[in-house]
């Protein structure tokens, strides 16, 4: 009897999350979130659980940032990026269930002193591989620093904390980002100037700072006076310690260039002799590894193109990726509709007042202009395929026409094969402008998403 009482008391002391995870010790905390160690009750897998207070983030107007972080982490599945496994919620809290990376922060290693060149190179290679993948998906991290780089049990690097990351929809009409964010010691000069900047080029500057810090054990731009430090950053004024090799000096001198247009690109970094030496996973293999890790996710997304980011069409009210449907699909059936009001899909469906034959002819003309070949054409359906190899092979898209009322037709695009992100770009950058002459309205462009066919 005594043993049974102890067991019951033991169970009551366990902190269970929605019957699926056991939550343990506190790993860290920020202003609006705490991160706990957790364990999956069915598999025994260790996880990290980020707990966010909904009332606090709503009060601070940060709900869009939380949505964006979910979207980004779903997009960037890569061996060197912390994986988001699941998102759940109660009325007052959101729970990010993430990969548990138990090696700690890379910052802890640097705190003990500079690293050997071969060790620093390994981390830098993995960092660039992951950042390259992020950029290929339209994501800029914007807060790269050693504190946001974790190490797993094998000593491999994992990028974390995408809370300040940016998606293409945040670009203004000038094609640039304008939000000043990040940690000053690691932020590019163009960001500090509070003018428009290219997020991917700003990330490359941060990677240059990180490489310098790994090899030196201290920052390249330092001064007790913050304005003097900024002046050094603006002029890219720094010195190399005597132990830096000529090859590392050469590469860092190309990374820490004040003019973003003259700054080295990631493909050029990967082609440098210093970087290539000992780089086991090359750029293509890295992408394949990431795609393999995301294969299951891609299959689930075949008919759910809303799970890719919608590109910006308006500076005043940029459309946001349907975070509600994504978060719901990952949350084991929990209803999170009270968190997200916008439930509109990216523009893959439109209505038209033209005849089916006119619509079909216009779609075929658009396909030709986009260098897509028609592989199948019927009275109410056309299938087209891109000529260029994408990340998942050639993109193949079908368009089907439905006549729902006299002089009203609905046209729906769907992805047959290829990469989801590339499909959304096709819809936003190809179909939308290419078919504007025959479109009455795109789904999601009206206030309620409903078209009155009696008009």
Give the annotated binding-site residues for ATP: 50
Extract the annotated binding site.
50
Give yes or no: 335 in active site: no
Using DSSP bridges, classify how beta strands 408-417 and 441-442 pair: parallel, antiparallel or unpaired.
unpaired
Q: At CA 81, angle to CA 78 and CA 84, rounded to 5?
A: 90
**Residue 386, beta-bridge partner list:** 372
Burial 353-385 (b: 16+ CB within 10 A, else e): bbebeebbebbbebbeebebeeeeeeeeebbbb
Two tokens at 443? 């789904």
Sign of CA dihedral 214, 220, 225, 229: negative
Terminal alpha carbon distance of the chain: 75
Find all residues with CB under 8 Å of 317, minimum gap 6, and list them. Answer: none
DSSP 201-244: HHHHHHHHHHHHHHHHSS-SS--SSHHHHHHHHHTT-----TTS
Q: 3-state class of 9 per DSSP? A: helix
Rounded-to-integer distance, Cα 378 and Cα 369, Å: 20
CA distance 175 to 168: 9
Contact 422, 388 (CB under 8 A): no
CA-derived radius of gyration, the chain: 25
Q: Which candidate in 143, 161, 198, 203 is catalytic?
A: 143
Q: Which of 258, 243, 135, 146 is nearest to 191 (CA)?
A: 258
Paired sense of beta strands 408-417 and 393-405, if any: antiparallel
Catalytic residues: 143
């Amino acid at each position: 009897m005594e043993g049974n009482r102890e067991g019951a008391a033991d169970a009551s002391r366990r902190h269970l999350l929605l019957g699926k995870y056991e939550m343990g010790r506190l790993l860290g905390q920020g202003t609006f979130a705490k991160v706990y160690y957790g364990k999956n009750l069915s598999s025994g897998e260790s996880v990290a659980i980020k707990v966010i207070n909904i009332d606090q983030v709503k009060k601070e107007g940060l709900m869009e940032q939380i949505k964006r972080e979910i979207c980004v982490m779903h997009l960037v599945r890569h061996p060197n990026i912390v994986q988001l496994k699941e998102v759940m919620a109660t009325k007052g809290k959101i729970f990010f269930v993430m990969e548990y990376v138990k090696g700690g922060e890379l910052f802890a290693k640097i705190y003990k002193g500079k690293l050997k060149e071969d060790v620093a190179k390994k981390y830098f290679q993995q960092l660039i591989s992951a950042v390259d993948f992020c950029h290929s998906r339209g994501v800029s991290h914007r807060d790269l620093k050693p504190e946001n780089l974790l190490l797993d049990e094998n000593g491999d690097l994992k990028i974390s904390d995408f809370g300040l990351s940016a998606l293409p929809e945040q670009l203004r009409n000038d094609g640039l980002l304008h939000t000043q964010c990040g940690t000053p010691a690691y932020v590019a000069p163009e960001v500090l100037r509070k003018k428009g900047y290219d997020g991917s080029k700003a990330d490359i500057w941060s990677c240059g700072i990180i490489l310098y810090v790994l090899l030196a054990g201290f920052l390249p731009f330092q001064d007790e006076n913050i304005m003097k430090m900024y002046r050094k950053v603006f002029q890219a004024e720094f010195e190399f310690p005597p132990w830096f090799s000529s090859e590392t000096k050469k590469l860092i001198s190309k990374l820490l260039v004040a003019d973003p247009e003259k700054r080295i690109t990631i493909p050029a970094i990967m082609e440098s002799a210093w970087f290539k030496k000992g780089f086991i996973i090359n750029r293509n293999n890295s992408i394949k590894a990431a795609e393999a890790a995301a294969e299951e996710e891609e299959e689930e997304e075949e008919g759910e193109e809303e799970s890719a980011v919608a590109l910006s069409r308006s500076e005043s009210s940029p459309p946001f990726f349907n975070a509600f449907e994504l978060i719901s699909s990952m949350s084991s059936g929990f209803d999170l509709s009270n968190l997200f009001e916008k439930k509109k899909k990216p523009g893959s469906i439109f209505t038209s007042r033209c005849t089916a034959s006119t619509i079909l002819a216009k779609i075929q003309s658009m396909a030709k202009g986009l260098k897509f070949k028609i592989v199948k054409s019927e009275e109410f359906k056309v299938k087209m395929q891109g000529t260029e190899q994408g990340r998942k092979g050639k993109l193949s898209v079908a368009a089907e026409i439905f006549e729902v009322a006299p002089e009203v037709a609905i046209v729906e695009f769907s992805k047959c094969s290829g990469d989801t992100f590339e499909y959304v770009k096709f819809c936003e950058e190809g179909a939308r402008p290419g078919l504007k002459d025959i479109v009455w309205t795109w789904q999601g462009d009206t206030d309620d998403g409903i078209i009155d066919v009696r008009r």
